[in-house]
Structure 1
């Protein structure tokens, strides 16, 4: 073993060799040296485990190639694009909503130049970043005023903290949802500085339950839309309109957390009706919160809509500064919202809506085409009917019809999906009934060619 290890060239000898001199011309020396030391340590570990050196252990080109590969892996961006072949449109782990082309262009314009983020060009004095999307949000929803923070949980925290710090926040037990990644409404309310007061039962809550909980210490009545689960059977809840009437009669504001948020009618995509912010405001909610990067199809943001006096109080809360959005979010959100002035244009250009609106016949044609290309490459593939999911904590029971490409290969399914994740670009697929399946609803047409290449490499 000692003799074999002595055959490994020294670091300085390798660095002085022609292959490494060429590598050093295009790569910083500290990076090469570090990677070389790591590679030599890995080679020694492999030898200790019974591995072998190349036929010629003095082949400096072999070491240079391995070092270059190691550098490429270590310097690759951590956050990178992937091909989403799962059919989950708002895949939380894959970044949720894709931005429209106009939103991406707006990002690029603002990112590369100074901007009037907090500068009033008309008056020549300090302005507010919160003015940039407010008018457009009010135009689209009918709200008196609007405020944008960095996500919907932040919107909820800010609203509850402003309205009920040190006071009671009343909410139905049937609406104590977990919004994802173990974040739960009770914990968010308590972290906001309010005392959580639960009313009713999990499956049934009545107006009298809210009435009994109202005291001089009540700061807010909170109604949470159950967007990521359903309760069925022996159930009852207080409609928002009735809760708003109760709140007005007692001088207590009503906060309605819509979660995903949707500016168009979900029924136009074959999905069940969901409350929109316009609906909530019309029904009397004093404040409404929703996400920007879910069904709206924009960047991550928390949108707060409602009464002008309450929005002003939120803006004056010192916590608002800690939760504020940056210029890139505002640019992308404004461009996304502008598309909704024409709902048909939004359906065409907002990727989330476009994917939801894809016709089953079009998806079937694309699936058959991809399956045929795979078969021509020697990969056994079939098509079968399937279902796509909306994702993002929305429409938990609703699915959309699609056509899946099923890989019928000998390689175990878990190994195939592992190899697909290692492709360039990575491909994320799913396993169904023991087979790897691809749903083209979430695959852009221009991604089909790299998808086919990745599958061929993974199954070949």
Structure 2
């Protein structure tokens, strides 16, 4: 008897649920239909009504409430998945947050070619079909000293293409200490296998000598390869042959030497007060080919570059895989505009965001922290204590992994001064609330507090405006 009454009550509740047409006739529906379209509004209303019917409580909410719920659903659907964020993690080139910021010149160049046709593969002088790499090849050669260069969609693709085009079904000699794994489980041995090459390891993890390479090079050798360690460093009892002497050995044996440089710095970072990193030009002085990224220390868009000997680059360019790994017009536009900044080295530190952020003086960042602290404290009054502290930033994306840069941070700690597990839970909740802001703020948690490293913060008004919406 009780079950029958409950069923009847539920049915009566469901009958009280308004129809979609009734809801569409309400005045609150008109602006929603105008903004999102009638079709989308109908779908949202049906979804909300289905949720009511499947709920434990059969009582229908007010019609206005249903429309509000539908509006929220539509607004959430309109929110783009890829969104700008404030990277206050302390990692300048953060792989998960998009790596290098494009300079304004590159942004303008991309916008110029996005909306219409362009001469991507068209030679304006002859009226014939052109080569898309021509838009950047001369610049790359001028800046690196290479004889030729080509561009693919990232450095992993550059390494894969080089191996497949020059050493398929042949041996590739690599020091055991350079068989690295980088982000996303990109392992050098696995890439070689997929490229159709046979790995020939030489030496040991910590010590490899020139004679090890000399003993390994033979009739089946297609390539000798050196891999920049990028995300780790071996110290202590170590040895590696000099690149110049290894290059001389390879020339003597008629085998190309390729260097996977990774980060792709085009300038001497030491001149800007940063830890030294090999440049592409210096690498090419002791190698036949160099591969490197466009969106790391180079400071441009995601891409991979193969630069070096013209005959070897020509062989690689003829590979069918080159088309599969090619980049689009926006990438060429952004890369070309960024490379042109290097032709004016006196302004590079100001015009290239990556270099500008890496070279910010610690004193300037500390002054910014002191300036922002009271503003942030006012916005978080009663919800967090706000202080400042020195901290260390890192370059990121595998560049100079053991080096750090002195910086300063805002420190957001629990308002009651709690520590330990309680403070850990509080900091995780605050970090989640910061990620939920209109423009998410991404920091890091340390010792029960949320640290916002200010090295990469240039838009102070936008940062403060986003904090105004914090629900915590």
- SS where residue 101 of structure 2 aligns? coil
Q: Which moved more, 1:270-279 or 1:449-458?
A: 449-458
Aligned mate of 2:319, from 317, 320, 343:
317
Asked whether 1:452 is paired with 2:464, we answer yes
Q: Which moved more, 1:249-258 or 1:427-436?
A: 427-436
Aligned mate of 1:333, from 327, 332, 335:
335
Does the Cα contact within 8 Å between 2:152 and 2:326 map onto a contact in 1?
A: yes
Aligned mate of 2:407, from 397, 402, 405:
402
Asked whether 1:373 is paired with 2:375, we answer yes
Does the Cα contact within 8 Å between 1:270 and 1:400 map onto a contact in 2?
A: no
Aligned to 1:15: 24
Q: Which moved more, 1:311-320 or 1:252-261?
A: 311-320
Asked whether 1:344 is paired with 2:346, we answer yes
Shift of 1:116: 1.2
Q: Which moved more, 1:352-361 or 1:113-122?
A: 113-122
- SS where residue 290 of structure 2 aligns? strand
Aligned to 2:236: 233
- C-alpha spacing 1:459/1:359, structure 2 compared with 1 (3 Å): farther
Does the Cα contact within 8 Å between 1:374 and 1:380 map onto a contact in 2?
A: no
Rounded to whole Å, the distance in 2 between the matches of 1:101 and 1:169 is 41
Aligned mate of 2:432, from 418, 436, 441:
418
Does the Cα contact within 8 Å between 1:228 and 1:396 map onto a contact in 2?
A: yes
Shift of 1:25: 3.0
Rounded to whole Å, the distance in 2 between the matches of 1:91 and 1:76 is 23
Shift of 1:453: 4.2
Rounded to whole Å, the distance in 2 between the matches of 1:342 and 1:121 is 27
Rounded to whole Å, the distance in 2 between the matches of 1:130 and 1:25 is 46
Q: Which moved more, 1:402-411 or 1:66-75?
A: 402-411
Shift of 1:229: 0.5
Q: Which moved more, 1:373-382 or 1:141-150?
A: 373-382
Rounded to whole Å, the distance in 1 between the matches of 2:452 and 2:16 is 48
Aligned to 1:34: 43
Aligned mate of 2:300, from 295, 298, 301:
298
Query: Which aligned pairs between 1:36-51 and structure 2 lie closer than 5 A?
Result: 36-45=45-54, 47-48=55-56
Does the Cα contact within 8 Å between 2:122 and 2:129 map onto a contact in 1?
A: yes
Aligned to 2:78: 75
Asked whether 1:128 is paired with 2:137, we answer no
Aligned to 1:157: 160
Does the Cα contact within 8 Å between 1:383 and 1:405 map onto a contact in 2?
A: yes
Asked whether 1:388 is paired with 2:363, we answer no
Shift of 1:459: 6.5
Shift of 1:399: 0.7
- C-alpha spacing 1:459/1:31, structure 2 compared with 1 (3 Å): closer
Aligned mate of 2:140, from 94, 116, 137:
137
Deviation track 1:331-362 (CA, whole Å, cap 9, x = no partner) reads 10000000011223221111111000101111
Aligned to 2:116: 113
Rounded to whole Å, the distance in 2 between the matches of 1:42 and 1:264 is 59
- SS where residue 249 of structure 1 aligns? helix
Does the Cα contact within 8 Å between 1:409 and 1:459 map onto a contact in 2?
A: no
Asked whether 1:85 is paired with 2:69, we answer no
- SS where residue 69 of structure 1 aligns? helix
CA RMSD of aligned residues (A): 1.7
Aligned to 1:24: 33
Deviation track 1:150-201 (CA, whole Å, cap 9, x = no partner) reads 1101111111111101101110110011121011111111111111111111
Shift of 1:8: 2.8
Q: Which moved more, 1:80-89 or 1:2-11?
A: 2-11
Rounded to whole Å, the distance in 1 between the matches of 2:469 and 2:79 is 21
Does the Cα contact within 8 Å between 2:413 and 2:448 map onto a contact in 1?
A: no
Does the Cα contact within 8 Å between 1:9 and 1:58 map onto a contact in 2?
A: no
- SS where residue 75 of structure 2 aligns? helix
Rounded to whole Å, the distance in 1 between the matches of 2:50 and 2:444 is 37
Rounded to whole Å, the distance in 2 between the matches of 1:94 and 1:393 is 14
Q: Normalising by the residue count of structure 1, what TM-score does the alignment of the two structures yield?
A: 0.94
- SS where residue 244 of structure 2 aligns? helix
Does the Cα contact within 8 Å between 1:416 and 1:458 map onto a contact in 2?
A: no
Deviation track 1:36-67 (CA, whole Å, cap 9, x = no partner) reads 1222233445x41x6x97xxx56322211111
Does the Cα contact within 8 Å between 1:132 and 1:330 map onto a contact in 2?
A: yes
Deviation track 1:57-109 (CA, whole Å, cap 9, x = no partner) reads 56322211111111111122111111111121100001101100000000011
- C-alpha spacing 1:65/1:268, structure 2 compared with 1 (3 Å): farther
- SS where residue 239 of structure 2 aligns? coil
Aligned to 1:257: 260
How many residues are matched? Answer: 451
